Amino acid sequence: MSEIRILLVDDHPVVRAGLRAMLSGFEGFSVVAEAPEGAAAIREIQRLQTLGEPLDVVLMDLQMGAGMDGVTATRAIKALSPAPPVLILTTYDTDADILAAVEAGASGYMLKDAPPEQIRAAVQQAAAGQTALAPEVAARLLGRIRNPEPVLSTREVQLLELLATGMSNKSMARQLFISEATVKTHLVHIYDKLGVDNRTAAISVAAQRRIIRTGG
Amino acid sequence: MSEIRILLVDDHPVVRAGLRAMLSGFEGFSVVAEAPEGAAAIREIQRLQTLGEPLDVVLMDLQMGAGMDGVTATRAIKALSPAPPVLILTTYDTDADILAAVEAGASGYMLKDAPPEQIRAAVQQAAAGQTALAPEVAARLLGRIRNPEPVLSTREVQLLELLATGMSNKSMARQLFISEATVKTHLVHIYDKLGVDNRTAAISVAAQRRIIRTGG
DNA sequence: GCCCGTATCAACCAAACGGTTGACTCCAGG
DNA sequence: CCTGGAGTCAACCGTTTGGTTGATACGGGC
């Protein structure tokens, strides 16, 4: 069996070095290119294709400090022809991240704190055209199918976003051209679905589940 | 000059491998031990000391998946005798994280996405007993001095962090062993300094200014 | 020694929020 | 056609929060 040729995409030099060291230590693995963010990754893929050099799998981080993020990059890569398999390797395993990655065409989702052997197996599977989910991720997806978490409506997410900017009920009512009563109704539904009982906790939970994004 | 002997503390095998590879590539650097979290780190230090093997610097992550977190570990390490310098190497550069680390006795604060050369220099400085701040961190602190933005006290930042988890005044009072009256006083000061007039807005502004970290 | 910032607490009142009940419309799906 | 979810609104009431005033205590700095 021939060598598995890998492109690393991660904005942290330390992580790239770690993956390079770890993968190079495995028999039959070879890191042939690296990129700090999505746009550079696409350039690397095209460069390799132009040179006729094969590429078997892209190892992609989701969170990039600057430049094109991992989900966008994955979508762009899957639009190429031929499109190499993209294996997501990231720090967080939130529903939103996982679903976005799968929707973008990723063929696997691994966590950075996984033991080396798990990462090795996932890369091998991805290179072979199979899907590879981290055990934690697989368990979460199965649990979600069995026990679907309540989904916020678009209006509720909208409220939540305004809420996170620190607006009062009155302000949100004005902003959305609805009455304070309606705002309160929505809030009650939101608290209900998130399992909390006040606005501050709602923002906390929503941020943790990455339903909304807070901060810079 | 003799070799700089390093202990790595990080819960991600990938990151440890990266740091090991990166540091081993530099002349005069040697990773002599590793630990996935704080308690194991302290055991490693004591083991080295028992064997009479020197240790010049501890490279410490702040966020650990399980076990003793980085701030607690740093505090514990600085209570040892002799206490090796602790250089924080983490992903986030929020005020809360930085202040907690410095307060715990860290002699430096670097970011994981820093270029290798910067990390090399910081480790060297820390090993030499000097302090080493990442340029981004240093710039933030300097900018704060030039721009006399109201500075939150440590107690106020502490409160803000609890606030961001969705706790009520009563809960925060219990948590911090103070009265609700004191909590309210602190909150008023916080609102004042952040230019807001309620808790939700305070969290929003604090997250944007990276005074605290929300989510994940 | 005095001042100022930090931290602590109490009492009070007004305003905002949280929770409930009930009701109306619209629209998609069985 | 009827049911159910989403979205809208009103009225009520108890609790929490926000704002103020005033007070004590401790430390560092001029």
Domain spans of chain B, in order of start:
4-144, 154-208
Contact B14 A18 (CB under 8 A): yes
A21 shares contact with chain B (CB less than 8 Å): yes
Interface of B with A in 58-77 (CB under 8 A): 65
Write the ipTM: 0.70
pLDDT value of residue A53: 93
Question: A207 vs B214: CB contact, 8 Å cut-off?
Answer: yes
Is A200 close to B199, i.e. CB distance below 8 A?
A: yes
Topology of domain B4-144 in CATH is: Rossmann fold (3.40.50)
**CATH code of the domain occupying A4-145:** 3.40.50.2300
What does the mean pLDDT of chain A come to?
86
CATH class label, A154-208:
mainly alpha
> What does the pLDDT average to over A76-104?
82
Q: What is the 3-state secondary structure (H, E, C) of chain A?
A: CCCEEEEEECCCHHHHHHHHHHHHCCCCEEEEEEECCHHHHHHHHHHHHHCCCCCCEEEECCCCCCCCCHHHHHHHHHCCCCCCCEEEEECCCCHHHHHHHHHHCCCEEEECCCCHHHHHHHHHHHHCCCCEECHHHHHHHHHHHHCCCCCCCHHHHHHHHHHHCCCCHHHHHHHHCCCHHHHHHHHHHHHHHHCCCCHHHHHHHHHHCCCCCCCC
Tell whether B30 lies on the interface with A, counting CB pairs under 8 A: no
Stretch B158-164: mean pLDDT, rounded?
91
Q: What value does the mean pLDDT take over residues A56-65?
A: 91
Listed as ranges, the nucleotides of chain D within 7 A of a protein C-beta are 5-11, 16-23
Instruction: Report if CB A168 to strand D is under 7 Å.
Output: no
A10-14, A64-68, A141-145, B135-139: range with lowest mean pLDDT: A141-145
Section A29-37 average pLDDT:
95
Per-residue model confidence (pLDDT) at position A140: 62
User: What local confidence, expressed as pLDDT, does residue A213 receive?
Assistant: 67
Q: What is the mean pLDDT of residues B87-94?
A: 87
Q: Pick the range with the lowest mean pLDDT from A38-42, B150-154, B167-171.
A: B150-154
Measure CB to CB from residue B204 to each of A94, A116, A165 and give the nearest one. A165
